[in-house]
Each structure stands twice: as C-alpha cells, then as structure tokens.
Structure 1
C-alpha cells in the first residue's frame, strides 16, 4: 500500500496538467472507488474546469480546479496516478481519466481499495480539513505522541504506528523502519515504553518521514543505503547493523520485521 512518500510522488505525476483545462472526463461509473459520490455531477463539474494546484497529506491527495471544484484521491492498496499523451484510450483499470488537449491525467486502481472524494464550494471539504497534523509539521509534538501512546497502553507499538489518526501516512515498511532506527521491539506495549524510547520514536518518525519525502517522494529514488527497508523485503533479510537475520511476525494484522539483537 502506498505510504506518505509514495503518495507525494504520485501526486506530482499530474503536474504536467497544471493550469490546463479539462476537456473531457471519462470514468467507470459504478466502480467501488466512487462510492458515496454522484458520478454524473463529478464529471459535469470537472469538464471545462482548469487544474489549479494540488497537495498531499498523509495518504490522501487533494486536487483543486477552477469553479470551486475539489477532487480527493486515496490510492488504497494498488492505486496509481500517471500522465498519458493526447489520444489515450482508458484501459480496464483506468477508472478516472481527465482528458486535456495535450495529455490525459489517469487514476488507475486494479483492486479498487482506493477512493475518490468530491466537493464543490469555497469551504474546505471535511475529508480534507479533518486530517490530523502531518508527522513533519510543528503540530506533531512529543507531547501529542506521548499522550496517544498513554491512551493506547495495551497496544503493541508497531500497531500504534499504523493508526492514521496519530501517525498519518505511516504504513507498514515505514513503521518497521522507525522502530528499527529507534531500537524498539515492535511487540512492546505502548504502556511499557520509557520516556527515552518515546523520545526516540518521535524523533525517528519525523526524520524518516522527512527523508522519505526528500527521496522517494521527490523522484522515487532510494532512501539511504543503511536503512532497514533495503533488507526487510528480502526473504533472508539481514540487519544492516549486525548482520544477523531479521525476525518476522504478524503484529496488528501486518507482517513485521525486526532485529532481535538491537531492538529489545
């Protein structure tokens, strides 16, 4: 599932269409990604509108068009945004296509766990306004994190990092990376974390999100070579620090990998 940095990368895939008008909207009405939306109204509002700007926050993207039109896109597990040249014909999984004179802005989602949001008007839509503070923002304070962990004292810290209202945009691999760099066992209950561990967790969460945005989010380049991510995907993952094989378990319903030697 795309996480914070991957979402930022895909947001910029539509940059070629900035300040250009949407000439035609093609979509697969009735698909699950449009649940709760009046699809005909969505198409009518976007057709003829100019693409003004966009922003990504957590795992959600927001695209603004002239006429007070807001388009939100959540990629889900398999969603992607891309740009195609003029004359492009949508394929089976291209569920939303904004045709412009020189290009097409495409949202594809084979598994349809993603979602499209839509709003008309000056006011910021609820689905965008209600998002929690970004991990890299000043509002994401140590006190905020400490209070959340205290409220979830019986939850494993790996599962806690996946709660989007607390750590927006952090997904499975990022949570493992944060815990590895903070040297915390992912099975540790939040209520058992020391003040020093909570401090490390907060610092590493901010640092890893920032570096991920500067690498993956910028041009899908790799994060630093000494990060766990380069080993966690391999069948025989080796800890970059110690060279010992990583442990594997399911925590919070997600596959988790860690080093038993340095995370204890």
Structure 2
C-alpha cells in the first residue's frame, strides 16, 4: 500500500503539473467503488474549468484546492498511483513489470485524468479499485482529514507527547504505529522498518516502551520517512541495509536478513516482518 512517502510523491506530481493552472479537461471513470457512489459526470463538470490554487497532503490523503469549487481529495488504496503523461515515473511494488498503457496507448486502469491549460496531463490509475476520490467544500470541513492524528513527517509528535499516548495503550506497538489517529501516514512497511531500526519487537505493548526507546522510535521514524520522501519513494534508492528489501514475499520470501532469522507473522492483524535477534 502506498504510504506517506509515496503519497507525498503523488502530491508533488499534482503540484508540478496543475498548481497555478486551470483544468481544461477532465475524465472521470464511472467506478462506483472508487467514487463511492458519486456521479462521475458531476465530478467531471466540477473539475473542468477549475483553477488549481494548490495541493496538500496529510497522512495518506492528498488533495487539490479548486478555489471556489472546493477541494478534490484522494486516497491511493493498495495499488493506486498518479503520474504525469510523458514523464518518468517510479513503480510501486503492486505495479510489477507490466506495461502501464494498453495496446491503444491509454493508461491501464484509468480512474482520473486531468489536463491543464498548458497541455500537460496527469492521471490516477488503480488496478485493484481500492483507491477513493471525493470532494468537500474545504480541507477543514472534511471529516476524514479531521479524524487524522498528526502527520508524522510535517508535524511529528515529541517524545513527551508520545509517551503520554503510549502510557494509555495496551496494544502492541506495531498496531499503534498503524493507528492513523496517532501516526498519520505510517503503513505496514514503514512500521516494520522503524521497529527494526529502533530495535523494538513489534509485539511489545506500547506502554512498555521507555522514554529512551520512544525517542529512538521517533528519530528513526522521521529519518526513514524523510529519506524516502527525498528520493521520491523510489525503492531502488533505499539504503541496502533497510529491512524493506527483504520483508516481502510471505512464506516464499527471504528467510534471513543480514545473516539473522527473519520472522513473518501477524501482529495487530497485519503481516509483520521482524528480526528477533535484533528486536527486543
């Protein structure tokens, strides 16, 4: 699933192509799941002719400010992606190596296409239909954004703040890391990476972490997210010693990482990869 670095990369694509421009053409796929029952032609009409005042992101949600026409929001789900037509793009793991266009040259699994007044185009695609698009009058009025906790990259909590939160939680730290009301933007791979680099076992109860461990967790969280954002979420540029490169594949995946046994098991309802000899 695209997490904060991937979503920030997507936001920057929208910003580069659309901010300060006018959307002169929009194509909205009639997908009742992605649109959650909204009428595609109504959304298309709202988008066409709209000036783009800017873009934003909090956690895993991105948005486009349409001036007096409100705000378009999106969530990438498990396999959604955004790219500029004709420009280089990275591939998230869910894309594999399959062509991004069909035999007629159209983007596969197209959900949204926006053309700016300078001719540049940006598209959102999703082969699994788990992404979402919706609108609101403002960012402040959107209930989904309002329900999020602090964004872990742009407004990270202090060690003291997190210690207070964790002191009230009797859940595994892995599950707490995935709670978007506490850590907006963290997903499964970031949570595993942070716990590995901080040396903390995923099953540890949040309340059991010491002040020093909490500070280490926050430091690693910011460093990991900041680096991933800096390289545009390009996994080929992630450091070789990151657990990220070995954590995938389930039962058929790597059995060791850097010479140590690699365990995969559910924690907090999510598949978790960790190294027991390094994480306590």
Could you tell me the TM-score, scaled by structure 1's length? 0.86
> Which residues of structure 2 form unaligned runs of 5+?
87-103
Task: Quote how far apart the aligned CAs of 1:8 are.
Answer: 1.1
C-alpha separation in 1, matches of 2:81 and 2:139: 28
Match of 2:227 in 1: 211
Match of 1:61 in 2: 62
Match of 1:20 in 2: 21
C-alpha separation in 2, matches of 1:122 and 1:256: 33
Contact 2:17 2:116 in 1 (8 A): no
Match of 1:236 in 2: 254
Q: Determine which of 132, 147, 158 is the counterpart of 2:149.
A: 132
Task: Quote how far apart the aligned CAs of 1:183 are.
Answer: 0.5
Match of 1:260 in 2: 276
Contact 1:90 1:97 in 2 (8 A): no
Match of 1:11 in 2: 11
1:67-106 per-residue CA deviation (whole Å, 9 max, x = no partner) reads 3431111000111112226xx9855621222233513321
> Which residues of structure 1 form unaligned runs of 5+?
none
Match of 1:116 in 2: 133
**Does the residue aligned with 2:261 lie in a helix, a strand or coil?**
coil
**Does the residue aligned with 2:122 lie in a helix, a strand or coil?**
strand
C-alpha separation in 2, matches of 1:249 and 1:121: 41
- When structure 1 is superposed on structure 2, of 73-82 and 45-54 the one drifting more is 45-54
Task: Quote how far apart the aligned CAs of 1:44 are.
Answer: 1.8
Contact 1:216 1:223 in 2 (8 A): no
- When structure 1 is superposed on structure 2, of 254-263 and 9-18 the one drifting more is 9-18
| Residues 244 and 56 (structure 1), Cα distance of their counterparts in 2 relative to 1, 3 Å cut | same
**Does the residue aligned with 2:257 lie in a helix, a strand or coil?**
coil
Contact 1:216 1:222 in 2 (8 A): no
Q: Determine which of 215, 219, 242 is the counterpart of 1:227.
A: 242
Task: Quote how far apart the aligned CAs of 1:216 are.
Answer: 3.5
1:103-138 per-residue CA deviation (whole Å, 9 max, x = no partner) reads 332111121111112023696544444432211345
Contact 1:62 1:128 in 2 (8 A): no
Match of 2:198 in 1: 182
- When structure 1 is superposed on structure 2, of 197-206 and 52-61 the one drifting more is 197-206
C-alpha separation in 2, matches of 1:255 and 1:20: 42
C-alpha separation in 2, matches of 1:107 and 1:22: 15
Q: How many residues align?
A: 258
Match of 2:114 in 1: 98
- When structure 1 is superposed on structure 2, of 100-109 and 254-263 the one drifting more is 100-109
C-alpha separation in 2, matches of 1:99 and 1:262: 50
Contact 2:169 2:207 in 1 (8 A): yes
* Pairing 1:149–2:166 present: yes
| Residues 4 and 121 (structure 1), Cα distance of their counterparts in 2 relative to 1, 3 Å cut | closer
Contact 2:169 2:206 in 1 (8 A): yes
C-alpha separation in 2, matches of 1:127 and 1:94: 24
Could you tell me the TM-score, scaled by structure 2's length? 0.82
Task: Quote how far apart the aligned CAs of 1:212 are.
Answer: 1.9
Runs of 4+ aligned residues of structure 1 deviating over 4 Å after TM superposition are 88-92, 121-124
